Every structure is written in C-alpha cells, then in structure tokens.
C-alpha cells in the first residue's frame, strides 16, 4: 500500500469546494458507493470512480483530482446526483473540479479540438456528406452549415474561452477585413 506524502494534500481543498453552494454537499458523503454503482461512465472507463473522487475532495487530494484525465470522462448525466442517498451534488462537484482543472490548463487535447470545431462551425462534429445523406434518407430537414456561429464567437471572445482552450483565430483576409469595415 502506498502512503501519500502530506505535501501532496491540500488541507484547504475541502473548504474551497464547500464554499460553492453545490460543493458544500460533499461533506455529507458517507462513502456508500451508490454513485459509482449507478454511473454509466464507471461501467466502461477503468479507474473512473465518483465515490473515490468525493473521498479525494474530502481528504484534500486536489492535485491528483485536477490533473487526472479521468475527470473528463464524466458525461454529466446526473444519475449520481439523483441516486445519492445523502443528496450530494456529485455531478456538480465534478463540474467544479473540471473548472479548476481548466484554469490549470489541464484540458484533454481531444476536448480542445472539439472546442475549436464549435468555434469554427458552431457544431461539435464536422457535417460531412455521409451525415447529410443519412439525414436525407431519414427524411430529416436540411441542416444549415453553421448554427449561430457569430454569436458563439462573440461569447467565446467575451469570456476568453479561446484562451482557455488555446484556440488560434485565423488571420482575416484582406477581402474579409474590407467587407467587415464596409
């Protein structure tokens, strides 16, 4: 059994998380494991364990939590929150942890690419011919190529989300600059 060094424990972490309205419920966790038993991600992703994550919050293992890529495998289905007998807001606490991880630039590359895709096209995945053909075969309406992408870009710039996900804006062409200035 490995013993964690005291230096890797952040004694103020529990208080930090408890300072958020949804975070203070972590103090009610009695480690029953119902959240992990009900979690769809835990069934398929080895090592992902929301019960243990709540324990890590309580014990102050901040670094271990926010540096782990496992954190990002939570799909935010909120089943853990619904099933917890103590009413612990597990999924919301995981969002708090993701926000802390993002501030430390611990965002998986795949998610940064997805963010770039949203900023560029307003959609999480590129819409290729195969998707369009399948939509037609299912009699679904034609899709616009972009969905509110100007509004998305405005939000991204205003909130500095672009810096968080290391998004590189493309240089505007001379024609685009002229068009923007009328």
Q: Which residues bind ligand SF4 (CB under 6 A)?
A: 29-35, 38-41, 50-51, 54, 74-80, 84, 86, 88, 90-91, 94
Spell 115-127 as b/e; 16+ CB within 10 A means b.
beebbbbbbeeee
Residue 86: CB minimum distance to ligand SF4, A: 4
Give whichever of 88 and 96 is closer to ligand SF4, judged by the CB atom.
Answer: 88
14 vs 51, beta carbon nearer ligand SF4: 51
Question: Minimum Å distance from CB 118 to ligand SF4?
Answer: 21
- C-alpha closest to that of 75 among 47, 102, 45, 55: 45
Closer CB to ligand SF4, 86 or 117, in the complex? 86
Helix (H, G, I), strand (E, B) or coil at 180: helix
Nearer to ligand SF4 by C-beta: 14 or 153? 14
CB 170 to ligand SF4: min, Å = 35
Q: Give the nearest distance from C-beta 77 to ligand SF4 in angstroms.
A: 4
- The answer to whether 85 and 34 have CB atoms below 8 angstroms apart is yes
* Gap between the Cα atoms of 34 and 70, Å rounded: 19
DSSP string, 80-136: HHHH-TT---HHHHHHHHHHHHHHTT---HHHHHHHHHHHHHSSSS---HHHHHHHH
Pick the closer one to ligand SF4 by CB: 71 or 119.
71
What is the C-alpha separation between 94 and 84, in angstroms, rounded? 14
To ligand SF4, the closest distance from the beta carbon of 156 in angstroms equals 25
């Amino acid at each position: 059994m490995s013993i964690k060094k005291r230096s890797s424990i952040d004694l103020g972490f529990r208080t930090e998380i408890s300072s958020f309205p949804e975070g203070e419920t972590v103090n009610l966790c009695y480690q029953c494991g119902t959240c992990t038993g009900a979690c769809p991600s835990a069934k398929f992703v080895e090592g992902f364990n929301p019960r243990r994550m709540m324990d890590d919050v309580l014990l102050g293992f901040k670094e271990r939590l926010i540096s782990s890529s496992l954190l990002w495998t939570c799909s935010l289905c909120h089943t853990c929150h619904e099933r917890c007998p103590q009413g612990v807001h597990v999924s919301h606490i995981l969002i708090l942890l993701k926000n802390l991880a993002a501030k430390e630039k611990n965002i998986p590359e795949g998610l940064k690419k997805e963010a770039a895709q949203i900023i560029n096209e307003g959609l999480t995945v590129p819409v290729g011919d195969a998707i369009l053909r399948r939509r037609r075969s299912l009699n679904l309406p034609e899709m616009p190529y972009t969905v509110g992408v100007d509004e998305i870009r405005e939000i991204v710039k205003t909130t500095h989300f672009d810096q968080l996900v290391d998004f590189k804006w493309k240089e505007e062409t001379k024609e685009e600059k002229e068009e923007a200035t009328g």
